[in-house]
Amino acid sequence: MTHTLVLLRHGESDWNAKNLFTGWVDVDLTEKGRAEAVRGGELLVGAGLLPDVVHTSLQRRAITTAHLSLDAADRHWIPVKRSWRLNERHYGALQGKDKKQTLEEYGEEQFMLWRRSFDTPPPPLDDSSEFSQAHDPRYADLGDDLPRTECLKDVIARFLPYWESDIVPDLRSGRTVLVAAHGNSLRALVKHLDQISDEDIAGLNIPTGMPLLYRLDEDMRPTVAGGEYLDPEAAAAAAAAVANQGR
Ligand SMILES: O=C(O)[C@@H](CO)OP(=O)(O)O
């Protein structure tokens, strides 16, 4: 018997469209992003994949994507579980900065270290910044867990406890599980599932609004390495566009 997991990165956000580092800043979807979310739901229906439960972050772009795609699949009524542990990687002092300008200012090597290295976080964001979440009521209970910056390694460390405590039990109970989250929080999960090395994960990009299906065995290992995008051609083109951001 296999377990069914569908990963969905949110549709295009306002700051994806503006090419700004986003992280924990709570931006909305663009009209294109909303359409991507609806299409994601239609792809689920077309593949006969009807989620029984959805897990999302505490961020609007993932919450709205989950709602729009489930609405399109007539599954708007399923239970929802939300956790900050599914949030996008905190981008530290880069939050709110233009990707192209950052690339020009710091050069290709530093830019890619901050964007895709496994263990180099950007400089921390000051609590007084307009892009800080230090005073955001939804994170009031986090205490010392509230990040001021994160690298992918940090995201894995805060995501995996939730994977084990909340998502794996839903999968083991036979539910079809939808995880609606973010480019880098989903990269953290895919790295774990596919056991991708710290070096190779730098080359993996998750496109917006494209459902990615994993069938998992009893050990929660993928039966198909890398999973299967429901629309593989569109997903490949969209992933290449993510890789090229800033250029
Ligand atoms: O800005 C961000 O938070 C992320 C996702 O949009 O960007 P990147 O793909 O550069 O990690």
What would the pLDDT profile of 102-134 be if each residue is shown by its tens digit? 999 999 999 999 999 999 999 999 999 999 999
Is 11 part of a structural domain of the chain?
Answer: yes
Q: Which domain holds residue 208?
A: 3-89+156-243
Backbone angles phi, psi at 55, to 5 degrees: -115, 130
> 158 alpha carbon to ligand 1 midpoint, in Å?
18
Centre of ligand 1 from the C-alpha of residue 139, in Å: 21
Average pLDDT over residues 171-198: 98
Which of 87, 113, 242 for mutating ligand 1's site (highest number of atoms within 8 Å of CB)? 242
pTM reported for the whole predicted model: 0.97
Which ipTM did the prediction report? 0.96
Say if 83 falls within a structural domain. Answer: yes
- Has residue 205 been placed in a domain? yes
Q: What CATH code is carried by the domain that includes residue 236?
A: 3.40.50.1240
- The answer, yes or no, to whether any atom of ligand 1 lies below 6 A from the CB of 142, is no
Kindly report, residue by residue over 91-103, the tens digit of the pLDDT.
999 999 999 999 9
The minimum-distance atom of ligand 1 relative to the CA of 16 is 6
Q: Does residue 208 form part of some domain?
A: yes
What is the spatial order of strands in the sheet that 53-56 belongs to?
80-82, 53-56, 177-181, 3-9, 212-216, 228-229
> Is 55 tagged catalytic?
no
What mean pLDDT is reported for the chain?
A: 97
- Residues 10, 36, 55, 150: which is the catalytic one? 10
Nearest to 208, CA basis, from 4, 3, 22 = 22
Considering the candidates 3, 55, 88, 150, report the single residue annotated as catalytic: 88
Q: What is residue 1's predicted lDDT score, i.e. its pLDDT?
A: 87
HSE-CB for 200 with a 13 A CA cutoff: 8
Structural domain includes residue 25: yes
Q: φ, ψ for residue 141 (rounded to 5)?
A: -90, 0
Please tell me the distance from the alpha carbon of residue 5 to that of residue 14, in angstroms, as a whole number: 27
Rounded (10°) angle between helices 152-162 and 183-194: 70
Structure tokens at 204: 């993996």
> Quick check: is 147 in a domain?
no
Helices (H), 117-151: none
What pLDDT is recorded for position 247?
78
The amino acid present at 188, given as its one-letter code, is: A
- Describe the crossing of helices 60-72 and 31-46 by its angle, rounded to 10 degrees: 40
Distance CA 104, CA 107 (A): 6
Number of domains in the chain: 1
Active site residue 10: yes
> Does 95 fall in a domain?
no
Q: In this structure, is residue 150 part of a structural domain?
A: no
- What gap in Å lies between CA 85 and CA 195, rounded to an integer? 20
Residue 86: enclosing H or E segment and its boundaries?
none
Total residues belonging to the chain: 247
Average pLDDT of the residues in 46-70: 98
Q: How far is CA 230 from CA 14, 41, 48, 156, 190, in A?
A: 25, 11, 11, 25, 16
